Amino acid sequence: MLEITALQKTYKLGKKKEIPVLKNINVTIQDGEFAAIIGKSGSGKSTLLNIISGLDTDYTGKVLYNGEDLQEIDMDKYHVNHVGFIFQSFHLVSHMSVVENVKVPLYLNPELSESERNERARDLLQQVGLENFESQKPAQLSGGQKQRVAIARSLANNPDMIIADEPTGALDSVTSAEIIQLLQDLTRQGTTVILVTHDLNIADKTDSVLRLADGEVVSFERKKEVTKKHSLKKEKKLRLNGWAIAKMSFRSFFNRKFRNLLVALGTSIGIIAILLAFGLGNGVNQSLSKIFGTTFSPNQITTYYLEDGGSISPEPTVPLTNSEIKKVKQLYQDENISEVYERTTIKGIKFEYDEEILEGVSGEMQEANFKPARYEDLTVEDGYLLSGKMVESEESGAVIPSGVARKILGKSDTAELTKKDGDKLIGKKIMLLYAGRNSDSANIVKTETVITGITNPSKEGFARGFDVSTKTMNDFIETAGIEKPILSVDAFTKTTSQAEQVVEKYENDKEWANYAITNANAFVDTFSQFTNIIVYLVAFIAGLSLAVAGVMIAIILYIGVVERTREIGVFRAIGYRKRHIRGLFMMEAGYIIILANVLSSAAAMTIAKLVSPILETKIGFEEMIHISFWNFLVTLVITLIIGFLFSIYPSNRAAKLDAAEALRSE
Ligand code: ADP
Ligand code: MG
């Protein structure tokens, strides 16, 4: 039973002006009654209907439904359990099929399974005579058919009251009569129907007629007493499952696919940049540890003198004096390290092969015996050598850089160099040329040696030196007539952690301020930190473009809210809570982000595949761009968070739409 007492409603126009629209309405409508509200346009019919239906609770007076005050109860629950709406302009969701439209209210009933929902929706369509139109879109239906779909939808949750605002206003008289017949059948089954109409013929068919003029009741005539006593119905729980939100928002997302694709493409640009920055960082770090891992032992400590009062230099540049060598050896002894080598290095070596000086290549010659602990490991198999083998200290020999091999073979710097090419040079004689510290070209000294091996181009990126045997080094020193230049004193510890501890111990020691005491591992770590900073910086800058993407998403959602105002109004009237509406819009933003991630992941992987080999030939690092699974995941999560943040405002706008207002907008 619906009891309205002393109901007054005023609309405020501006700050001061108040327009009374409903003035002291008192009326009672029985359960199961077919009631008509008639009156001229502007007499307040729709306003009254909105109040009865709970869409508008801003009034004075009392409206009680089964004894409960509409201003005090949970409106969404009231809608789901008791009210079904039918509108003059149908308000069907245009991108959903007929059956989907009918299912919209059913998603709020957690007791139904998906197949039960389908079954129920089909039953309802059969009830209104539309069983053959299930998969049609509303645009393919006539007005009468659309209104039947709307009626089926209004009945979905078994309401005990149907509220219809001029349901036949847009229909011809024959169709109109059919719709009224349908509503009449419903009242026979015990449903209350309250209907606004202009049509006096329709009013004739109802049980009662409420006549309004200027917001006042002119007359209330009950032609037929309604005897049916309505049993109080047990209220169902109202819950919307996540799957339904995902499904409906995906439909809406798909319905605007072109526009969403554009936004996703825009978003991809930033994501691609971030993925590539991460990928490049990984590639550099991996290459670094590979190179240092093969050319330096992690157990090796290298100590050398720093020029310019201790500024950091990544490699030794000046020879140590005898007293400095002694000092370093003492340090190793204090640390109980027994395996110590003086490392002889001579820079600026040129090459002559077959009586011809090789132009454009020079190298830093080092005595290979300074790293015996690693010596045997450096083979063709592990990739350090392209061909041949390492030198043996008693015999004459040199492992030459790949650049020198290319020059000898007459190949360009970027040309491929195979093991077979290298094999041709093994055992061949080569001259090492030295013009002295001052590059005095008039006094070039030559020393003959034998090529025993060629370094793999991908492994010599940082290790610019090339190894010669102790015999070749001694021959060279003798012919050049120079003192053995010891650039560093190296030591090998038993464990890597011991090497790292020693490095750490002397790091801030003032006495050793002019020395670099280094370990390859520690060096790779520092270098990785450095690359990581750059990577994060680039990623951050790329991330800024994601803020732009966020704004785009916010705009596109906001446009969606404006376009879908009536749809949102219908959903709210059906009983969807504010948070459900919010969820539907946020989910749509989620789909845009996911699409953007899929697109950019594909693009970034393609770029990595195409560019890595080019970088390899240019820089010599393998797999320079390596995007890991974690990079993809982190980027996805970050962009989802951004999408979430930027969808808060438009989603809230949608959720807070006034349903009565939204449905009025034609
Ligand atoms: P009916 O449905 O009988 O044609 P309405 O209930 O829609 O009449 O409107 C009643 C009166 O209230 C009209 O004068 C209309 O202009 C006014 N009105 C309706 N909605 C608003 C509103 N949101 N703000 C101000 N005035 C309104
Ligand atoms: Mg109206």
CA dist 33 and 48 (Å) reads 17
The atom number, within ligand 1, closest to the CA of 196 reads 2
Q: Which atom, in ligand 1's list, is nearest to the CA of 40? A: 3
CA atoms 60, 65, 69, 71: torsion sign = negative
pLDDT tens digit sequence for 572-589: 999 999 999 999 999 999
Q: Give exposure, 87-125, as e/b (b: 16+ Cβ within 10 Å).
A: bbbbbbbebbbbbbbbbbbbbbbeebeeeebbebbbebb
Which residue puts its alpha carbon closest to atom 1 of ligand 1? 42
Atom of ligand 1 nearest to the CA of 11: 25
> How far, in Å, CA of 133 to CA of 177, rounded?
21
| Range of weakest confidence among 47-51, 219-223, 235-239, 448-452 | 235-239
According to the model, what pLDDT value does residue 614 have? 84
Q: Crossing angle of helices 578-619/242-255, nearest 10°?
A: 70
Q: Which of 12, 18, 21 to mutate to test the pocket of ligand 1 (most atoms within 8 A of CB)?
A: 21
Q: What is the pLDDT of residue 134?
A: 92
User: Measured in angstroms, how far is the CA atom of residue 18 from the centroid of ligand 1?
Assistant: 12
441 pLDDT above the threshold of 90: no
Q: pLDDT exceeding 70 applies to what percent of the chain?
A: 93
Q: Under a CB-based contact definition with an 8 Å cutoff, are residues 57 and 71 in contact?
A: yes
Helix (H, G, I), strand (E, B) or coil at 139: helix
Q: What is the mean pLDDT of residues 152-176?
A: 91
- pLDDT bin (cut points 50, 70, 90) of residue 424 is very high
Band (pLDDT 50/70/90 cuts) for residue 430 is: very high
Residue 627 Cα distances to 54, 279, 395, 612, angstroms = 55, 4, 46, 11
Give the model confidence (pLDDT) of 629-643 as tens digits: 999 999 999 999 999
Give the model's confidence band at 51: pLDDT under 50 very low, under 70 low, under 90 confident, else very high.
Answer: very high
CA pair distance 353, 332, nearest whole angstrom: 41
For ligand 2, the distance from its centroid to the CA atom of residue 46, given in whole angstroms, is 4
Q: How far apart are CA 348 and CA 365, in angstroms?
A: 8
* CB neighbourhood size of 189 (10 A): 9
**CA–CA dist 500, 506 (Å, integer):** 10
Q: What is the pLDDT of residue 155?
A: 93
Q: 599 pLDDT exceeds 70?
A: yes
Ligand 1 centroid to residue 47 C-alpha, Å: 6
The DSSP H or E segment spanning 378 is none
Nearest to 144 by CA among 174, 113, 109: 174
318: which 2 tokens?
């000046």
Cα–ligand 2 centroid distance for 634 (angstroms): 53
Considering only CA atoms, which residue is closest to atom 15 of ligand 1?
Answer: 42
Residue 296 has pLDDT above 70, yes or no: no
DSSP H helical segments within 62-164, as ranges? 75-82, 98-103, 114-127, 143-155
Q: Is the CB of 58 under 6 A from ligand 1?
A: no
Q: Is 42 in the pocket of ligand 1 (CB under 6 A)?
A: yes
Residue 175 neighbours by CB distance under 10 Å: 17
Mutate which of 46, 196, 212 to test ligand 1's pocket (most atoms within 8 Å of Cβ)? Answer: 46
665 in contact with ligand 1, CB cutoff 6 A: no
Range from 181-195, 370-384, 603-617 carrying the lowest mean pLDDT: 370-384
Residue whose CA lies nearest to ligand 1 atom number 14: 42
Q: Which ligand sits nearest to residue 47's alpha carbon?
A: 1
Which protein residue's CA is at the shortest distance from atom 25 of ligand 1? Answer: 11
Q: Which residue, among 358, 77, 61, 36, has the nearest Cα to 208 in the 3D structure? A: 36
* Closest protein CA for atom 18 of ligand 1: 11
Nearest atom, ligand 1, residue 43 CA: 3
Give pTM, 2 decimals.
0.73
348: tokens are 């600026």
Report yes or no: 280 and 620 within 8 Å, Cβ to Cβ: no
Residue 428 is predicted with a pLDDT of 95
Measured from the Cα of 212, ligand 1's closest atom is: 3
Nearest CA to ligand 1 atom 2: 46
Phi-psi region of 281 (alpha: psi -120 to 50; beta: other; left: phi over 0): alpha
Atom of ligand 1 nearest to the CA of 13: 25
* CB 448 within 8 Å of CB 456: no
Report the residue among 19, 25, 53, 198 best suited for mutation to probe ligand 1: largest number of ligand atoms under 8 A from its CB: 19
pLDDT recorded at residue 374: 53
Give the pLDDT of residue 230: 60
CB of residue 521 inside a 6 A radius of ligand 1: no
If one counts every other C-beta atom within 10 angstroms of the C-beta of residue 244, the result is: 20
Cβ–ligand 1 contact at 50 (below 6 Å): no
Question: Is 41's C-beta closer than 6 angstroms to any atom of ligand 1?
Answer: yes
Name the residue type at position 216: E
The ligand minimizing its distance to the Cα of 20 is 1
Contact (Cβ atoms closer than 8 angstroms) between residue 88 and residue 167:
yes
Which-ligand-closest: CA of 18?
1
DSSP 482-538: ----EEEEEEE-SSHHHHHHHHHHHHT-GGGTTEEEEEHHHHHHHHHHHHHHHHHHH
Among the bound ligands, the one closest to the CA of 44: 1
| pLDDT of amino acid 461 | 54
Q: Is the CB of 402 under 6 A from ligand 1?
A: no
Count how many residues are written for the chain. 666
Give the highest mean pLDDT range of 245-259, 364-378, 435-449, 651-665. Answer: 245-259
Ligand 2 centroid to Cα of residue 142, in Å, is 23
Amino acid at 458: S
Q: Are 48 and 39 in contact (CB under 8 A)?
A: no
**Shortest-distance Cα residue to atom 27 of ligand 1:** 11
Burial degree of 495 (CB within 10 A; 0-12, 13-18, 19+): exposed
Assign 391 a pLDDT band (cuts: 50, 70, 90).
Answer: confident
pLDDT at 108: 94
Tokens at 490, concatenated: 């190296």
Residue 45 alpha carbon, nearest atom of ligand 1? 3
Residue 22's DSSP bridge partners are 9
Compute CA distances 525 → 46, 224, 285, 495, whole Å.
74, 91, 9, 17
Give 575's DSSP letter: T
Q: Determine the pLDDT at residue 655.
A: 95
